[in-house]
Amino acid sequence: MTDQHPEAQVVLRLDNITKRFGKLTANDAISFDLRQGEVIALLGENGAGKTTLMNILFGHYTPDEGFVEVFGQRLPAGNPRAALAAGVGMVHQHFTLADNMTVLENIVLGTRSLWRPGFGRAQARQRIVSLMEDYGLRVDPDAQVGSLSVGERQRVEILKALYREARVLILDEPTAVLTPQETDDLFATMRKAVALGLSVIFISHKLHEVMAISSRVVVLRHGKLVAEAKTAETDRAAMAQMMVGSEVAAPVVRRADPGEALVTLAGVSTPDIGSAPGLKNVDLELRAGQITGLAGVSGNGQTALADLIGGLLRSASGTFHVKGNAPRGWSPHAAISAGIARIPEDRHKTGTIADFDLTENAVLELYSRPGFSRHGWMNWRAARDFAAKIIKGYDVRCPGPETRIRLLSGGNMQKLILGRVLETAPSVVLANQPVRGLDIGALTYVHEQLLAARDRGAAVLLISEDLDEVTALSDVIHVISEGRLSPPFARGALTPAELGVWMAGDGFEEAPHAA
Amino acid sequence: MDIFDILLQASFWTAAIRIASPLIFAALGELICERAGVLNLGIEGIMVVGAFAGWLTVYLGGGLWFGVGVAMLSGMAFGLVHGVLTVPFGLSQHVVGLGITLLATSLTYYCYRLALPEVTSPPKIDAFQPLEIPLLSDIPVLGPALFNQTPLTYLAFVLVVAVTLVLYRTPLGLALRAAGENPAAVEAQGLSVSAIRIGAVMVGSGFMAVGGAFLTMSAFNSFFFEMVNGRGWICIALVVFGSWKPGKTLLGAVLFAAFDALQIRVQQTPLGADIPYQIFLMAPYILSILALVVMSRRAQVPAALMVPFNKGER
């Protein structure tokens, strides 16, 4: 798609949108226009503010400042119905469909007054069928939604928007759940929509897709609009760099003194799980006294690697050694016993139990160790002392060990996890997105602690989407893309732009599909 | 006389349909609640309320249909309490439902004592009489069974058709079912999940109360304690048996009632003399459980049944 009509009518205008959540500014004075027949790709990392912005646009949130204009009309803030009526259709990442109802019923829901006697099934079917033909969205209108594939469900969501005569389509990471074939179909639909005069905002962080479909790119970072460019006038490496930024707040790093390899992967592959790629023939060594950084856009196999080392996943092929042994019956328990400690990617979902107190959360992984339990009975006094020690040693701001962890801020929650991980003096630290969503103070603290663990002789694997973080902390960097792992690069061997090329998937020898 | 002779008797089928009628009302009411996503365990108590309210209205001189209306409204009042507690407040549907059953039952017995302090044997009312439909009631066996019933039985069958039409053919039914499947989808279209769910619980509870009123106004013609006797709980099973579909639920109610009518008759045959009567009393329940096991395999539970909906939570 090229932008052939720069003078085309502005259909949607975001003016100076600002949204704050407490101290965090999720959107900071963002303005841009969407013109008719245009596809704008909204790029940014997790937490860059993309979803917040789209929720404001669709009326789920009220902005603190600024406004949204559709076809020259200012939208009342915080009113999804007004956005719908103005012709803004949104396809959320998580579908809002009823599984036990048919496609037709899902599409028609809410479009007619509840007190009308019938819902005009025949008429509705006719319109849906003609929409399907116009936009190339094939689904059986009488199928139960529960029996459809994810791609088909997405088509139903798009049909829902089109049925409500949307003129602007917002697609929130639509390809995250799709197979490559389904992605091609979606792009065909988007091209037809644009040809029929619609305009599209497409949220993604898959750069080759952005190149393929968008006419313009808008990049958000830390809530700010940092770049805006015509797709034709930029390239993947430049986009990758715009996304992750290059301003560095480097902690003071002492020289590393690498020791033996504690975890070794040779030619390891794991199966793809849904749309999440598995590892493809990966070689990796985690050495004692060294931070190994893993750079890459999220969803490229980081989860598979972290799960494999953490014991949640087993390799399908290749050799996997921990401290020189090929572990049998690899499990989280085995991993913990082998001295591998994890900072999980999602501290709310897998790191903590929200309604347990700090003591209980502190011993979640350790409760069966001697000292914390004996003959099957918990020693709560020891657990409480352990929690108190973490609270003191890691500066966890909280009323006390009996506080429910739900009440803590993200940073303090992460400090508790960090303490729980480091207090056991692990030989391997698996830090997956350890500073995501943290403010600068907590972030610096976590970084210092990871460096301290390294200096103590631990092997640290740092997984992050933030290229600055990876380059600042890591002694050795690998780049992961679509499950493939680059060779190790020493600190400073590559510029961020060169790393961006690897992150975009170029540079791999056996690239499965040339983009 | 063996079982096959019994099955060919018109009087057997007439009894079965009569026994099924209150179950049809109440199960239909439960079905409406559950389709909107709310399990209504207040059913047993609401049936007691309906039985009493309808009966008392007629006993005090009200008309029969007026009595049915009063029963319906009393059920809706308890439905409103249930709906408000479980939907906007999001309290446990189990606890609220059982609480409503206990409250409604005790309150009814209390009111009965207040209304009739001196009475030892429950007084009778002039209840609904069978209304023979000409021509149709002349069909052998089926005729008297289906077309020589009281008007309330006819109403039950009409309601099954009406509820089916509303559920599957109107925007209201669509919104109601969607509220029970994925309330977020309803909210995303700018409709109020709370209003839909509370409305469904109120109407459903009204139907349950009419089911109870059937007992006093169309079957026993008087009110006494323990008369609902677990019928509400049976209805909850019938909804599952019917896979949350009105027609299949009606079928389940008739099947259960037929077992019940059959066991009474078999007790009086020579076969019945050798077997303890408790076995016969158990039979319909055991057969229901077996039928439930077979039928509920393929049942499609409303996905959001018993899941409170909190606006804005993702």
* B314 neighbourhood in chain A, CB within 8 Å: 94
pLDDT at residue A255 in the model: 75
pLDDT at residue A142 in the model: 93
Residue from B182, B191, B245 to probe the interface with A (highest A Cβ count within 10 Å): B182
Q: How confident is the model at residue A357 (pLDDT cuts 50, 70, 90)?
A: very high
A360 vs A364: CA distance, rounded Å: 6
* B177 neighbourhood in chain A, CB within 8 Å: 98, 100-101, 105
Q: Are A16 and A66 in contact (CB under 8 A)?
A: yes
Domain assignment present for residue B289? The answer is yes
Segment A57-83 shows an average pLDDT of 87
Question: Can you name the residues that pair with A261 across neighbouring β-strands?
Answer: A287
Helix (H, G, I), strand (E, B) or coil at B144: helix
pLDDT digits (tens, 9 = 90+) for A190-206: 999 999 999 999 988 77
Closest in A96, A110, A114 to B182, CB measured: A96
pLDDT at residue B1 in the model: 54
Instruction: Quote the percentage of chain A above a pLDDT of 70.
Output: 92
CATH number of the domain residue B7 falls in: 1.10.3470
Residue B287, pLDDT above cutoff 50:
yes
Domain assignment present for residue A123? The answer is no
What are the backbone dihedrals phi and psi of residue A33, each rounded to the nearest 5 degrees, phi first?
-110, 150
Domain boundary among A380, A396, A424: A424
* A121 neighbourhood in chain B, CB within 8 Å: 169
Closest in A80, A99, A117 to B303, CB measured: A99
Residue A248, pLDDT above cutoff 60:
no
Segment A66-87 shows an average pLDDT of 87
Residue where the block lists tokens 């304690």? B225
| Alpha-carbon torsion, ordered A440, A446, A448, A452, to 10 deg | 180
Segment B232-259 shows an average pLDDT of 93
Domain assignment present for residue A420? The answer is yes
Helix (H, G, I), strand (E, B) or coil at A222: coil
Q: How confident is the model at residue B314 (pLDDT cuts 50, 70, 90)?
A: very low
Helix-helix angle B43-59:B231-241, to 10 degrees: 130
The distance of B178 to chain A (nearest Cα, Å) reads 6
Segment A350-372 shows an average pLDDT of 88
The ipTM value here is 0.80
Q: How confident is the model at residue B133 (pLDDT cuts 50, 70, 90)?
A: confident
Residue B188, pLDDT above cutoff 90:
no
Query: Do A460 and A506 lie in a common domain?
Result: yes
Residue A302, pLDDT above cutoff 60:
yes
Domain assignment present for residue A151? The answer is no
Domain residue limits at A209: 10-96+166-244
Question: Does A369 reach chain B within 8 Å, measured CB to CB?
Answer: no
Helix (H, G, I), strand (E, B) or coil at A21: strand
Instruction: Quote the percentage of chain A above a pLDDT of 90.
Output: 39
Inter-chain residue contact B189 with A94, CB threshold 8 Å = no
Domain assignment present for residue B135? The answer is no
Structural domains in chain B (count): 1
Question: Can you name the residues that pair with B222 across neighbouring β-strands?
Answer: B124
pLDDT at residue A440 in the model: 60
CATH number of the domain residue A18 falls in: 3.40.50.300
Output DSSP code: residue B224. Answer: -
pLDDT digits (tens, 9 = 90+) for B216-237: 999 999 998 889 999 999 999 9
Question: Does A109 reach chain B within 8 Å, measured CB to CB?
Answer: yes
Rounded to the nearest integer, the mean pLDDT of chain B is: 90
Residue A512, pLDDT above cutoff 60:
no
Residue from A60, A91, A100 to probe the interface with B (highest B Cβ count within 10 Å): A100
* A116 neighbourhood in chain B, CB within 8 Å: 170-171
| Alpha-carbon torsion, ordered B89, B93, B98, B103, to 10 deg | 20
pLDDT at residue A245 in the model: 67
Domain assignment present for residue A105? The answer is no
pLDDT digits (tens, 9 = 90+) for B46-104: 999 999 999 999 999 999 999 999 999 999 999 999 999 999 999 999 999 999 999 99
**Radius of gyration of chain B, Cα coordinates, nearest whole angstrom:** 20
Residue A2, pLDDT above cutoff 50:
no
pLDDT at residue A246 in the model: 54
Closest in B181, B186, B188 to A99, CB measured: B181
Instruction: Quote the percentage of chain B above a pLDDT of 70.
Output: 98
Inter-chain residue contact A96 with B300, CB threshold 8 Å = no
Helix (H, G, I), strand (E, B) or coil at A54: helix
pLDDT digits (tens, 9 = 90+) for B18-62: 999 999 999 999 999 999 999 999 999 999 999 999 999 999 999
Query: Do A412 and A431 lie in a common domain?
Result: no
B271 or A213: whose pLDDT is higher? A213
Helix (H, G, I), strand (E, B) or coil at A420: helix
Residue A290, pLDDT above cutoff 50:
yes
Domain boundary among A397, A424, A451: A424
pTM above 0.80, yes or no: no
Domain assignment present for residue B308? The answer is no
Helix H, strand E, coil C: the string for A280-300 is CCEEEEEECCEEEEEECCCCC
Inter-chain residue contact A84 with B303, CB threshold 8 Å = no
Domain assignment present for residue B119? The answer is no
Helix (H, G, I), strand (E, B) or coil at A215: coil
Q: How confident is the model at residue A439 (pLDDT cuts 50, 70, 90)?
A: low
* Closest C-alpha among A69, A44, A46, A43 to residue A56: A69
Inter-chain residue contact B174 with A119, CB threshold 8 Å = yes
Question: Does A156 reach chain B within 8 Å, measured CB to CB?
Answer: no
Least confident of A49-63, A130-144, B194-208: A49-63
Question: Does A124 reach chain B within 8 Å, measured CB to CB?
Answer: no
| Alpha-carbon torsion, ordered A200, A203, A207, A208, to 10 deg | -40
Residue from A84, A101, A159 to probe the interface with B (highest B Cβ count within 10 Å): A101
Closest in A100, A113, A119 to B303, CB measured: A100
Question: Does B278 reach chain A within 8 Å, measured CB to CB?
Answer: no
Query: Do A311 and A236 lie in a common domain?
Result: no
Segment A421-426 shows an average pLDDT of 90
Q: Are A14 and A53 in contact (CB under 8 A)?
A: yes
Domain assignment present for residue B274? The answer is yes
- Beta strand segments in A83-167, E: 88-91
Question: Does B175 reach chain A within 8 Å, measured CB to CB?
Answer: yes
Residue A20, pLDDT above cutoff 90:
no
Domain assignment present for residue B257? The answer is yes
Inter-chain residue contact A98 with B172, CB threshold 8 Å = no
* B174 neighbourhood in chain A, CB within 8 Å: 101, 105, 108-109, 119
Domain assignment present for residue B177? The answer is yes
Neighbours of B120 (CB within 10 A): 5
Domain assignment present for residue A446? The answer is yes
Inter-chain residue contact A100 with B170, CB threshold 8 Å = no
Residue A247, pLDDT above cutoff 50:
no
Domain assignment present for residue B275? The answer is yes
A448 vs A439: CA distance, rounded Å: 14
Domain assignment present for residue A111? The answer is no
Question: Does A377 reach chain B within 8 Å, measured CB to CB?
Answer: no
The distance of B209 to chain A (nearest Cα, Å) reads 25
Query: Do A89 and A183 lie in a common domain?
Result: yes
Question: Does B188 reach chain A within 8 Å, measured CB to CB?
Answer: yes
Structural domains in chain A (count): 3
pLDDT at residue A5 in the model: 52
Segment A374-390 shows an average pLDDT of 91
> B195: nearest CA in chain A?
A114
Question: What tokens appear for A237 in the block?
Answer: 């490496």
Inter-chain residue contact A108 with B174, CB threshold 8 Å = yes
Q: Quick one: how far is CA A71 from the chain centroid? A: 32
> A91: nearest CA in chain B?
B188
Q: Say which residues have a Cβ less than 8 Å from residue A380's Cβ, sequence separation at least 6.
A: A359
| One-letter amino acid for residue A510 of the chain | E
| One-letter amino acid for residue A485 of the chain | L
Dihedral sign from CA coordinates of A193, A194, A198, A199: positive
Domain boundary among A395, A424, A453: A424
Question: Does B182 reach chain A within 8 Å, measured CB to CB?
Answer: yes
pLDDT at residue B254 in the model: 94
Question: What tokens appear for A482 in the block?
Answer: 């679509």
Domain residue limits at B86: 3-114+146-298
Query: Do A325 and A392 lie in a common domain?
Result: no
Domain assignment present for residue A375? The answer is yes
Rounded to the nearest integer, the mean pLDDT of chain A is: 86
pLDDT at residue A180 in the model: 67
Segment A333-341 shows an average pLDDT of 90
A222 vs A247: CA distance, rounded Å: 12
| Alpha-carbon torsion, ordered A275, A308, A354, A446, to 10 deg | -110
Residue A208, pLDDT above cutoff 70:
yes
Question: Does A116 reach chain B within 8 Å, measured CB to CB?
Answer: yes
Residue A251, pLDDT above cutoff 70:
no
Domain assignment present for residue A347? The answer is no
Residue A50, pLDDT above cutoff 90:
no
pLDDT at residue A514 in the model: 35
* Closest C-alpha among A168, A175, A133 to residue A151: A175
Query: Do A33 and A73 lie in a common domain?
Result: yes
Q: Identify which of A442-446, A451-455, A495-499, B118-122 has the greatest average pLDDT.
A: A451-455
